[in-house]
Amino acid sequence: MNEIVTGDTLGAFVRENHIEVRGPSAGALAGLTFAAKDIYDVAGVRTGFGSPDWLRTHGPAARSAPAVQMLLDAGAHLIGKTHTEEMAWSLTGENAHYGTPINVNAPGRVPGGSSSGSAAAVAAGLVDFALGSDTGGSVRLPASYCGILGMRPTHGRIPLEGVCPLAPSFDTCGWFARDPGVFERVGRVLLRDDAPAAKSRRLLVAQDAFAFAEESAKAAFKSALEKVAAVIGTPENVTVGDESLTQWMDYFRFPQGAEAWAAHSEWITRERPQFGPAIKGRFEWASTVDPKDVARASARREAITRRMDELLRNDAVLALPSAPDIALPRNSPPVVVDGLRARALPMLCIAGLARLPQVSLPLASLNGCPLGLSLIAARGNDTMLLALARAISSQPSAFS
């Protein structure tokens, strides 16, 4: 076990199934170190999925997930796997079995989930970048909480073979970095795209998404928007939803729950895993989702996709909070965590429903803690967001 993992005092890295793989000495990512969320297969070791029971009941992977292999082939050095929330289904990062990684940029607060270990490791400088995944916000929200860059790509753009699923029609391979140049280089490898990025000169501001932000955070977001506008141009206020974004959240939740149950019900029924209380409750709910609710949500999802395609035409970008507030204190009571989900999911569900790329930028802070501002682009405009992240970062004191 390498020195970084051995000396990890943050609880970011898994120990039970540690693996280290060195890439070649040449390539686009040569000399960079990374970690992979423990939902990605790495040849020769078991994948844990944040669950001791999953780890116990699954054998070693025959081959590495394509996302991991692409990074290795580009010269990056995998130094370990990182903790995830159990079954990758949470926004706080507090795993009932393995604990909560430490958020060095918000002491005493959660790192965010479910890509908690990856975000914590990047924030602390233990690795240059890390793989996470994003179904309902599991890259974007930890990026905000930990004060780093985080990317959810266009759905389907990066292969997910060899990756434990949560809800396949929403699941994406995402990543974190501190340095915008590294962030873009990683994205170019994973997206397999070296073409010049499109340029955006239209900045839209999602008024109905900002309405879910805490009042104390809105001034910080205003300052962050000014940094983005300095690169793109004068912002235009828009209303994203054709109805309440809280209703859009339900169009996300019902299919997500049904897909999660479809993916794992056989294993759950057979193995009867000892889930933590929150995850146990989510799967119990998922088993009861009415197919009529799923059908109605699926139809609305297609209408929402068309609406967002029109809104983001001509290379527009949409600005909105990555999270409604700074990270919650560790061990917050369930009612507080439920409140976070109720405020966060309406803004996080937009990209998932419409299958859009979204980047979280560490442009703001509040009470000494990070706060991320997000940009959403049209499907396929992932590299435009990466180039914008780099351009915005070149401004003096851009990143908090």
Q: What is the mean pLDDT of residues 200-228?
A: 95
For residue 396, the model assigns a pLDDT of: 67
DSSP helix/strand/coil, 35: strand
Asked if 364 contacts 218 with a C-beta cutoff of 8 angstroms, the reply is no
For residue 296, the model assigns a pLDDT of: 97
Across the chain, mean pLDDT equals 96
For residue 199, the model assigns a pLDDT of: 94
218 is catalytic: no
Q: What is the mean pLDDT of residues 265-274?
A: 98
Q: What is the mean pLDDT of residues 15-36?
A: 96
Q: What is the mean pLDDT of residues 356-364?
A: 97
In the sheet with 129-134, reading across from the earlier edge strand, the strands are 77-82, 33-37, 129-134, 172-177, 149-152, 358-366, 369-377, 316-321, 202-206, 235-238
pLDDT tier for residue 152 given thresholds of 50, 70 and 90: very high
Spatial CA neighbour of 180 closest among 211, 201, 216, 149: 149
Q: What is the mean pLDDT of residues 366-379?
A: 97
pLDDT tier for residue 357 given thresholds of 50, 70 and 90: very high
The percent of residues above 90 in pLDDT, for the chain, comes to 96
Q: What is the mean pLDDT of residues 367-384?
A: 98
For residue 400, the model assigns a pLDDT of: 58
For residue 394, the model assigns a pLDDT of: 78
Pairing of strands 172-177, 149-152: antiparallel
Structure tokens at 226: 């000014």
Poorest-pLDDT segment among 5-9, 159-163, 313-317: 5-9
CA atoms within 13 A on the CB side of 179: 10
Would the pLDDT of 6 be above 90? Answer: no
Q: What is the mean pLDDT of residues 323-336?
A: 97
Helix (H) or strand (E) holding 132: strand 129-134
Would the pLDDT of 398 be above 80? Answer: no
* β-strand partners of 129: 34, 177
73-93: pLDDT as tens digits: 999 999 999 999 999 999 999
343-352: pLDDT as tens digits: 999 999 999 9
Distance CA 141, CA 160 (A): 21
199 is catalytic: no
For residue 70, the model assigns a pLDDT of: 98
Q: What are phi and psi of 345, to 5 degrees?
A: -65, -35
Catalytic residue, chosen from 138, 144, 365, 393, is 138
133 is catalytic: no
Catalytic residue, chosen from 51, 114, 365, 393, is 114
Q: What is the mean pLDDT of residues 366-378?
A: 97
For residue 4, the model assigns a pLDDT of: 85
Cis preceding linkage at 298, omega within 30: no
29-72: pLDDT as tens digits: 999 999 999 999 999 999 999 999 999 999 999 999 999 999 99
Q: Residue 165 has what DSSP assignment?
A: -
